Structure 1
Amino acid sequence: MTELYPSAPSAVSRRTTLRAAGGGTLLLGLGLTGCRSAVEESAAPAVADAAGPRRGGTLTVAVNSDFTPSLLFAQSNQSLQQRLIYNTLTRYDDRLEPQPELATSWEYAADGRALTLKLRTGVVFHDGRPFTADDVIFAVKNLQNPVRAAQLRATAAAVTGFEKRGDHELVLKLAHPVNNLFDLFEFMIITDPGSVEEAVAGKRLNGTGPFSLTRWSPGTGLGLKRHEKYWQPGRPYLDGVEIRVVPQADALISSLRTGQSQLSYSVPGRNLATVAGVPGLVVSEYATGGGASYLGVNTSIAPLDDKTVRQALAWAVDRERILKQVLGGYGLASATPWPKSSPAFTEAGRTHYRHDPGKARELLRSAGHTRLDLPLLHVNLPGETALAEAVQYDLQQIGVHVTLEPTDAATAQKKLISQSMPALWAMGHSFAQVQPSTLAVSAYPFNAAKNTSRFRSEEYTRIVREAWTSRATGAGANALRQRVTDTLLDEAFIIDLAIRGSVQVASRKLRGATLNKFSYLNLDDAYLAG
């Protein structure tokens, strides 16, 4: 059994081959797939200019935390730039059906233990070297390396062999069937093997993406310029991209108001109503759910090793208030991690825990407690601080007094990975927006083999593995997903609070900016209207 555990059924039939008609031309439309219809776009982004897309200009993107090269291969809140510099093999549409990117077609073997990929020709890295099957082999092996701390390492580890058929056809051989291989393909950036160590040191990022890195100024941001030999003809439209680090909410909002920045996904929820009324700005929601807010519980610390205590915490939190006050009303109050777009979503699961302080106090008393004093770590950013303060208030009402521990984003991510969290923490997680079993095999908080909460259960491990490796569809697949959900709700080692899709704040002049399922920014078709 692999050390970490992977995800759920691909929407592509295991014996179906999907071929890209027209090569790069098809992808011009697919650049928005998996995102555009998921975004409730206002008039400006949805309206095309009569004169067509405008070429040129530099887009400035405001972010609230700096690029961390050591986390290049991990999903985090610092992954926005991934798709600007690198491509992936495939990308999902809104129905979780994979579409071509560097892989143009694929076909599963009848037993589900091999997948043949045909790769795009005419693709070059920023340094001019041609993209080949060797780069895909390296990308998979790179994510198998535990040093990379990649959440989808278990899925990568299921690939046990490679058969090259020339430079642009590759067979991946699997130890056993997995149903989240296309999650891996959308997550896995294709990097240059020769410079990967320089990449994780922040010295050189050499990809095949639409932009190449010109500078990284730690604490300030990234500078990118157009890749003139990009494989999509005529793309990108933009000359360059500046990613500016603006950690303070007021300063970030000011940069958008004044036009110093034209795009951000970092405006705190409580400030969204303010920017929504600013002339020249458009607020849009990616409703498919790019992540969720949650309360994490370290089950190795008493009395949190008692699931009755954990369930009391789950009943104590007012999710609707968090949705309204912390997330600005964007998202969905939910006791489960699944967005409505997920095949694992059920209304019964979403409302399983409601705000019931009386029931929470009763459960605590039944476990022998009337007061607890616990630390609660959170990322020291405005939106995350607001979440932690809301949780702190609700827990205090049932006799659980928490001391907030503000922490920088990079340190919090490292603590998450290394299982060194305190008793409680409030953060966001991803991976529920893709194939459902990926959450329990890839996301650090939920991983059945080794999770941040230090929760271990033979039953949970067995259920997760079965959900990951099953080739069931329909009712059979739904039953497996429900068993995972039921276990998460009962054990409450991760207490989900609200689904929070990415909220885009953009200039009305900006057209065509989208996110993939892992919140990688796609600017292939983006431009600044006159």
Structure 2
Amino acid sequence: MSSEKLWTPNQRNGDGGFTRRRLLEFGAAGALVMGAGSLLSACSGGAPDPGTPLKPLESLGGGKPVRGGTLRLGMITGGASETLNPAVAATYTDLLRSYQLYDHLFRVGADIQSLEPELALSAEPNKDATSWTIRLRDGVNWHDGKPFTADDVLWTIQSWSSSASYANGIVRQFIDFKAVRKDGPLAVVVPLVRPAAEFASLLTYVNCSVIQNGAAPDSFNTQPVGTGPFKFESFNPGSQSVFTRNPEYWGDAEKPYIDKLVIDSSFNDENSRNYALLGGQIDVAPLYASEFAKRQLSSKEVNVLGAAGTQANYFTMRVSEGPFADVRVRQAMKLLVDRQALVDGVFNGLGRVGNDIYVTDVAYILEDVTAAHDIDKAKSLLKAAGAASATLTLQTVAGVPRYLNAATLLAEQAKKAGLNVKVEPIPYSTYFTAAAGWPAPRSFGQDAANTVPSLTAFAAGQLLVGCQADETGWNALPDSQTKLDQAISEPDPSRASELWGDVQRQQVAEGGHLVWGFSDWLDAASKKVGGLRSGKAGPLNDYRVLDAWLTQ
């Protein structure tokens, strides 16, 4: 089977330079999916009461679940580039749809550290974690009635071997694609090209949905067939998607409760979407802007769901060349930044401070690392590096408040250490493209990361040779891979904890990620919606719309 014949770059829906990295940031008009800025403050919804504690709900009430009705979700538009192809889902709007139609082998558990079985029941490594056997769930049917089998998983994994699938950037450093094989109708053996004790965590990646045997990209936008809680009815990119309840959903005999799900993706900005929520034109606004959330916690016109987020927001410094090749300059930047001021200014306080560790809540995470704020020490390091009063250019995203606000605040803070940081806005349509220097050779930039389920996934995305997003040039440094290779391959939890601790301490001290904060997940819903929950893994408790019901 040749996946390259099925998954070629020119078959992506509206590619146009719209890379996987942009799934975190944009709608078609450059509106920020999760951010807030001065534009938002002009909107309706009541002024916040400074004395009201900011306590979003963990879940919506509503009493006993009610069956039936149509639930309307509003999302920022992706325009003509919107897609139902899970391999190239490139915005939160795309992902929301994908998670209703398709399932993964595993998904991230509520605590982030554990894996929740979906179409797989277990993933078992051999002794040295160089091969994994995935046991599959029996009794699952596709939306067209065909049974789910190992052949579907084989087809899916082979589709990841193509660079046209965004999953490729995460798994290509691990899977020996030519050696993957069936072991009966409900098991698949996945040999690896390197030992990986946390390999199963990579299968939770957002673009690793399981597709039907024989499915090709040209079918996804017209007649997608999945195993998820909702079935396809219609899709109009940049306007509306309509899905209906899957009565044979394997996950829960009672769910989904609603009969029909309408995803309205016609909103060009957060203002218009908020007006629609308050006016009753939509029932749910996932990824609610923090400014609106803060207001609604006081005015209570709608319910606000919230959970401590796992989305890292960070500046990138290229360690292999340019001004940041001197570790003292990197260390100075980490010392001069006022992280709490960034969290307060950019997230309206609805977030938490970062400590230059790219992930949070995962296994082996260091809990005792606190980022220092020391302007005098930063000045001393810059002077020793011959960079006192240096001018640095920070590239950011034009028209996206979260990025631009954070860059502007950092530039102001850097003045206190004698640095002149020039903010260079780049159009959102090109920022995450090779033409604009992403991921290399950009010297100083910004990014954000979706939920990362393990330190191995972090390494696969950012640090290993051949990684998906080489934003800091870490893998070009001498001996940069030794500690990573040891940690990734170590099966003993005690020893793995030591090794991953070394990796994290090295990244904090020497790495090129300045992780300043983690934004909360915030969702808003009409008072007539029940059942929805918040969660650390993502919006709507990791896109679990099937939990919702309508109380009236």
Query: What SS class does the counterpart of residue 203 from structure 2 fall into?
Result: helix
Q: 1:148 to 1:417 in 2, by over 3 A?
A: farther
Shift of 1:496: 0.6
Distance 1:84 1:421, change over 3 A: farther
Aligned pairs for 1:325-344 within 5 A:
325-337=345-357, 341-344=361-364
Change (3 A) 1:412 1:148: farther
Distance 1:305 1:179, change over 3 A: same
Could you tell which deviates more after superposition, 306-315 or 514-523?
Answer: 514-523
Change (3 A) 1:156 1:412: farther
Q: Specify the alignment match of 2:337 in structure 1.
A: 317
Q: 1:153 to 1:206 in 2, by over 3 A?
A: same
What residue in structure 2 maps to residue 63 of structure 1?
A: 76
Q: Structure 1, unaligned stretches of length 5 or more?
A: 1-39
Q: 1:477 to 1:526 in 2, by over 3 A?
A: same
- 2:440, 2:194 → 1: CA distance? 32
| 1:459-488 CA-partner distances (Å, limit 9, x unpaired) | 3212112111110213x2221111111221
Corresponding residue to 2:522 among 498, 503, 506: 503
Tell me which amino acid in the other structure corresponds to 1:182.
A
1:320 Cα deviation after fit: 0.3
SS at match of 1:346: coil
**1:493 counterpart = 2:476:** no
1:198 aligned onto 2:218: yes
C-alpha change, 1:270 and 1:158, in structure 2 (3 Å) is: farther
Query: 1:53 and 1:194, CA in 2 relative to 1: closer, same or farther beyond 3 A?
Result: same
The alpha carbon displacement at 1:123 in A equals 2.6
Q: Find out whether 1:82 has 2:101 as its counterpart.
A: no
Q: Does structure 1 conserve the Cα–Cα contact (< 8 Å) formed by 2:174 and 2:196?
A: no
What does residue range 71-470 of structure 1 map to in structure 2 within 5 Å? 72-73=86-87, 77-78=91-92, 79-95=95-111, 96-150=113-167, 151-154=169-172, 157-158=175-176, 161-187=179-205, 188-198=208-218, 202-232=221-251, 233-238=253-258, 239-287=260-308, 289-299=309-319, 302-337=322-357, 341-349=361-369, 351-352=370-371, 354-369=372-387, 370-378=389-397, 380-397=399-416, 398-408=418-428, 411-415=430-434, 419-420=439-440, 422-432=442-452, 434-441=453-460, 443=461, 445-450=462-467, 451-455=470-474, 456-470=476-490
Partner SS state of residue 460, structure 1: coil
Q: Rate the CA distance shift 1:401–1:186 in 2: closer, same or farther, 3 A.
A: closer
Preserved contact between residue 337 and residue 499 of structure 1 (Cα < 8 Å): no
User: Judging changes above 3 Å, is the alpha-carbon distance between structure 1 residues 48 and 208 closer, same or farther for their aligned structure 2 residues?
Assistant: same
Quote the Cα distance in structure 2 between the aligned partners of 1:493 and 1:209. 39
Q: Letter of the aligned partner of 1:97 in structure 2?
A: S
Match of 2:67 in 1: 54
Cα contact 2:76–2:270 (8 A) shared by 1:
no
- Separation of aligned partners in 1, 2:143 and 2:290: 37
Offset, 1:63 = 3.3
CA contact (8 A) 2:358 2:458 kept: no
Name the structure 2 match of 1:528.
550
**Cα shift at 1:333:** 0.5
Amino acid at match of 2:404: T
Say if 1:297 and 1:304, in contact at 8 Å, map to a contact too.
yes
Secondary structure of the structure 2 residue equivalent to 1:496: strand
Secondary structure of 1:277 counterpart? helix
- Aligned CA distance change for structure 1 residues 491 and 107 (closer, same or farther; 3 Å): closer
Q: Which secondary structure does the structure 2 equivalent of 1:290 belong to?
A: strand
CA RMSD of aligned residues (A): 3.1
Q: Secondary structure at the match of 1:194?
A: coil
* Aligned AA (1:130): P
Task: Describe the shift of the 1:94–1:118 C-alpha distance in structure 2 as closer, same or farther (beyond 3 A).
Answer: same
Secondary structure of 1:147 counterpart: coil
* Gap change, CA 1:204 and 1:152, over 3 Å in 2: farther
TM-score by length of 1: 0.80
Query: Whole-Å Cα distance in 2 between the matches of residues 407 and 487 of structure 1?
Result: 34
Please report how far the alpha carbon of residue 247 of structure 1 lies from its aligned counterpart in structure 2 after TM superposition.
3.9
The residue matched to 1:146 in structure 2 has which SS? coil
Point out 4+ residue stretches in structure 1 off by more than 6 angstroms. Answer: none
Task: Give the TM-score of the pair, scaled to structure 2.
Answer: 0.77
Q: Which residue of 2 aligns with 1:42?
A: 57
AA partner of residue 269 (structure 2): Q
